[in-house]
Amino acid sequence: MTTVHTLNPTADPATDVDDVARLLSPGGERVADPDLQEWIADVDTAAIRRLYRDMVLLRRIDDEGVALQRQGQLGLWPPCRGQEATQIGTARALRADDFAFPSYRETGVVFARGGKPSDYVLAWRGEGHSTYDPYELHTATQQIIIGAQSLHAVGYAMGVQRDGGDQVAAAYFGDGATSQGDVNEAMVFAASFGAPVVFVCTNNQWAISEPVSVQARFPIAGRAPGFGIPSMRVDGNDVLACLAAMRWATDHARRGRGPVFLEAVTYRMGPHTTSDDPTRYRDKEEVEIWRRRDPIDRVEALLRAEGAFDDAFVAGVGADADALAAAVREAAMGAVTRPALSIFDDVYAEPHTGIDEQRAAYAAYLDGFATAQGA
Amino acid sequence: MVQLTMAKAINEGLRRAMADDPKVLVMGEDIGKLGGVFRVTDRLQEEFGAQRVIDTPLAESGIVGTAVGLALRGFRPVVEIQFDGFVYPAFDQIVCQVAKLHYRTRGNVRMPLTIRIPWAGGVGAAEHHSESPEAYFVHTSGLRVVAVSNPQDAYLMLRQAIASDDPVVYFEPKRLYHAKGDVDLDVDPADAPPMGLARVAREGTDATVLTYGAQVITALDAALAAEEDGISLEVIDLRSLSPLDHRTIGASVRKTGRVVITHEAAREAGVGAELVASVTERCFHYLESPPVRVTGHDIPYPPAKLEKHHVPDLDRILDAVDRVLDRPNSLTGVEL
Ligand SMILES: Cc1ncc(C[n+]2csc(CCOP(=O)(O)OP(=O)(O)O)c2C)c(N)n1
């Protein structure tokens, strides 16, 4: 059952990117997978078209984010190009009342959860740390402290158990995050309590400049069984496989069978953020290999083969993407910075004399300028 | 003398410390090929190899904890915490292990660790990238805490920190990474003023401004502006927050009788509170007016678009100067 008794328990370092479950080959042909395919038996051409549209729209938001940053409208942007299938496929498997805990790069998760154009850009513009009500989207504020959200997800799932609910928490984090104590502690807690949580590790090969081999000598999905958590390593550029695997995982957790761990093997095509310079640490050839595995091209090839990629469809998706990009841009350009005194808001939920005094003193100080100008 | 940015001066400090002592190691996230997100460790891996310039897994507690083991084994690790806001996962290792091992072992174990932290705001960064956590460490016995404000000090104090047998938390203001200054690389760090000493950055007679890090620059600007009003400010760059150089501070306060303290960390229980308390205890009879603090507000660091309201600027310092000199100011008429 396990490889615990072998003399050579280490496998290939985590670099064999083809050792994954898939339903769609890099060329876009369907691949049979006895475990996964039943989970997308209902996914017809119309549903595949919707997944395609989601990914195109996400890529467009992402491109707009990069452009707005370059134009000085945003302070920073963390591109997710290349990771569309992982984000859309897994997030589309969640129920509206499940709770997602994304990282800074999971723009597509926020999109799939119903984010508004302003939700993608205002935090990166520095207008506010969070732009949506987590309870409205059932999605936590995008996390910057690496791995911290994995514990929040487990705690949320433990709350679901105590409420007798049937929601699932989804913890998203990167390959780098698997080195963090928090992620490992999260797995211990989740397994110990049988919490309904799905860990989605997006293995995009890099943690800023560090290849996955600095974080892991064994395929990352192989760790979870050591915590007592079933896991699957899935092709993260195959949206059908991501959807199917996440449906399996959430079903498992929802039925009270405990946590699941998915490793989505994908690639970050762009820089880590707009401040990063990936030419310092990775080869052009590697990027080229992954360009040929593009998650959107792959679905396009499938739809073409199935005669479902007609001009009207393409034009419709294109028009939707244009409109969304314009709305994102408008949200950034039209942002109104909150008044100065708002920095004192919400530090405490109830009145607090210390902060109230500071607010009043700063207000008086600012008023001094107004008076001086008036005089 | 050469002109160097602060980032380059620190880089040179690391290089020379490594060249002089094979026990010196540098470790952290992205510090190898990338040279650190601020390029402070640029090319060190090329020069000294991956065994001495170590790209670690992404785990702050792991970085500091393994550095403790290396120090036990006789190495002198210099760890980089990528940003101020990411030191907290390592807090346990720093305050419970690094700070206490020497005491716990009755001096048998030394912890010659240097913990470098790109620090504080004013650069329009994202959340968790502009924190001023110095007070947490100042409050921890067993640690030395320093903050640099110019390339020369950055170079020399880093060398001194690495040479110290005590653990040193070394704060590098991000806002000044690209600021250039004269650096004499040939001064022997052992002959330079020790890192525990404050520096009179500008002499004056009417009031003393106590500050550190990037606020030294703001305070010097304020002093220039005050001069136009006929006010003479003395500016003290503390350089060391633990221990504080009470001699230099006291000499200045006794001369001017008036004290303004400025830092961008929040006020409550901050370094400023310690300074007011200690100045009051030591120089009460010389004080002409109550010392005044100009600090960040007691709020989480605000979003970038609003940070200018948080980080004290020249005008807020001058307003405080008006308070200690009993001139009209923003609190005139307010019951305190
Ligand atoms: C606790 C902590 N340490 C360091 C950082 C700085 N940092 C931001 S993203 C990142 C790399 C993360 O890599 P990975 O987990 O693989 O996610 P990816 O960025 O590839 O999506 C680093 C080091 C941080 N945000 N939080």
Per-residue pLDDT of A40-72, as tens digits, reads 999 999 999 999 999 999 999 999 999 999 999
Cis link prior to A219 (omega < 30° from 0)? no
Q: Are strands B144-147 and B180-183 parallel, antiparallel or unpaired?
A: unpaired
Q: Are residues A329 and A348 in the same domain?
A: no
Above pLDDT 70, what percent of chain B? 100
Q: Are residues A104 and A211 in the same domain?
A: yes
Q: Are residues A311 and A269 in the same domain?
A: yes
Which single residue is written with the structure tokens 């050469």?
A: B2
Minimal CA–CA distance to B329: which of A37, A369, A239? Answer: A369
Q: Does A144 touch chain B (CB under 8 A)?
A: yes
Cβ distance B217 to B267 under 8 Å?
Answer: no
- C-alpha A263/C-alpha B232 separation (Å) is 64
Above pLDDT 90, what percent of chain B? 97
Q: Are residues A306 and A351 in the same domain?
A: no
Q: Is the ipTM of this complex over 0.90?
A: no
Position A12 in a domain: no
Quote the pLDDT of residue A8. Answer: 57
Q: Which atom of ligand 1 is nearest to the CA of A105?
A: 21
| Domain with A165 in it | 34-333
Helix (H, G, I), strand (E, B) or coil at A196: coil
Q: Are residues A325 and A347 in the same domain?
A: no
Q: How far apart, in Å, do the first and last CA atoms of chain A sit?
A: 83
Domain count, chain A: 2
Per-residue pLDDT of A268-326, as tens digits, reads 999 999 999 999 999 999 999 999 999 999 999 999 999 999 999 999 999 999 999 99
Position A360 in a domain: yes
Neighbours of B326 (CB within 10 A): 11
- In this complex, the residue of B125, B128, B299 whose CB is nearest that of residue A343 is B299
Quote the pLDDT of residue A351. Answer: 84
Question: In terms of C-beta distances under 8 Å and separation of at least 24 residues, what long-range contacts does A132-141 make, across chains too?
Answer: A137/A100, A137/A110, A137/A113, A138/A96, A138/A97, A138/A98, A138/A99, A138/A100, A138/A113, A139/A99, A139/A100, A139/A101, A139/A102, A139/A109, A139/A110, A139/A113, A139/A115, A140/A99, A140/A100, A140/A101, A140/A102
Domain ranges of chain B: 2-191, 199-324
Quote the pLDDT of residue A349. Answer: 85
Bridge partners (DSSP) listed for residue B55: B28
Q: Is residue B34 exposed (0-12), middle (13-18) or buried (19+ Cβ within 10 Å)? A: buried
Cβ distance B244 to B278 under 8 Å?
Answer: yes
Domain B2-191: which topology? Rossmann fold (3.40.50)
Contacts of B127 in chain A (CB under 8 A): 123, 129, 144
A367: left (phi over 0), alpha (psi -120 to 50) or beta: alpha
Position A68 in a domain: yes
Above pLDDT 90, what percent of chain A? 89
Q: Are residues A353 and A222 in the same domain?
A: no
Quote the pLDDT of residue A11. Answer: 55
- C-alpha A307/C-alpha A47 separation (Å) is 14
Per-residue pLDDT of A71-117, as tens digits, reads 999 999 999 999 999 999 999 999 999 999 999 999 999 999 999 99
Cβ distance B159 to B148 under 8 Å?
Answer: no
Minimal CA–CA distance to B26: which of B66, B54, B65, B62? Answer: B54
Token reading at B212: 């550190």
Per-residue pLDDT of B246-290, as tens digits, reads 999 999 999 999 999 999 999 999 999 999 999 999 999 999 999
Q: Is B178 noted as a catalytic residue in this protein?
A: no
Alpha helices in B99-210 (DSSP H): 101-104, 134-138, 151-163
Q: Are residues A311 and A355 in the same domain?
A: no
Quote the pLDDT of residue A1. Answer: 41
User: Sorting pLDDT into bands at 50, 70 and 90, what band is A6?
Assistant: low
Quote the pLDDT of residue A173. Answer: 98
What's the CATH code of the domain at A168?
Answer: 3.40.50.970
Backbone phi, then psi, for B323, in 5-degree steps? -65, -50
Query: A268: Cβ below 6 Å to ligand 1?
Result: yes
Query: Does the pLDDT value for residue B9 go beyond 60?
Result: yes
Position A112 in a domain: yes
* Rounded average pLDDT over B165-191: 97
Contacts of A343 in chain B (CB under 8 A): 297, 299, 302, 306, 309-310
- C-alpha A303/C-alpha A49 separation (Å) is 8
How far is ligand 1, taken at its centre, from the CA of residue A147, in Å? 8
- C-alpha B223/C-alpha B210 separation (Å) is 12
What single letter denotes the amino acid at residue B302? P
Q: What is the mean pLDDT of chain B?
A: 96
Domain B199-324: which topology? Rossmann fold (3.40.50)
- In this complex, the residue of A129, A146, A210 whose CB is nearest that of residue B30 is A210
Question: B299 and A209: CB-CB below 8 Å?
Answer: no
Backbone phi, then psi, for B87, in 5-degree steps? -80, -20
B2-191 and B199-324: same fold?
yes
- C-alpha B309/C-alpha A366 separation (Å) is 10
User: Sorting pLDDT into bands at 50, 70 and 90, what band is A348?
Assistant: confident
Q: Which residues are within 8 A (CB) of B334 and not within 5 positions of it... i.e. 6 or more apart?
A: A361, A364
Per-residue pLDDT of B27-74, as tens digits, reads 999 999 999 999 999 999 999 999 999 999 999 999 999 999 999 999
Q: Are residues A75 and A40 in the same domain?
A: yes
Backbone phi, then psi, for A221, in 5-degree steps? -60, -25
Question: A362 and B309: CB-CB below 8 Å?
Answer: yes
Q: Are residues A253 and A358 in the same domain?
A: no
- C-alpha B129/C-alpha B126 separation (Å) is 6
Helix (H, G, I), strand (E, B) or coil at B309: helix
Backbone phi, then psi, for A339, in 5-degree steps? -65, 155
Per-residue pLDDT of A209-264, as tens digits, reads 999 999 998 999 999 999 999 999 999 999 999 999 999 999 999 999 999 999 99
User: Sorting pLDDT into bands at 50, 70 and 90, what band is A371?
Assistant: confident
Position A78 in a domain: yes
Cβ distance A177 to A183 under 8 Å?
Answer: yes
Q: Which atom of ligand 1 is nearest to the CA of B89?
A: 1
Q: Are residues A287 and A361 in the same domain?
A: no
Quote the pLDDT of residue A7. Answer: 60
Contacts of A214 in chain B (CB under 8 A): 55-57
Q: Whose CA is nearest to atom 20 of ligand 1?
A: A207
How far is ligand 1, taken at its centre, from the CA of residue B220, in Å? 37
Bridge partners (DSSP) listed for residue A231: A261
Q: Are residues A281 and A197 in the same domain?
A: yes
Q: Are residues A234 and A105 in the same domain?
A: yes
Query: Does the pLDDT value for residue A375 go beyond 70?
Result: no
- C-alpha A30/C-alpha A246 separation (Å) is 18
Position A27 in a domain: no
Position A22 in a domain: no
Token reading at B326: 């009993």
- C-alpha A280/C-alpha A311 separation (Å) is 41
Quote the pLDDT of residue A2. Answer: 45
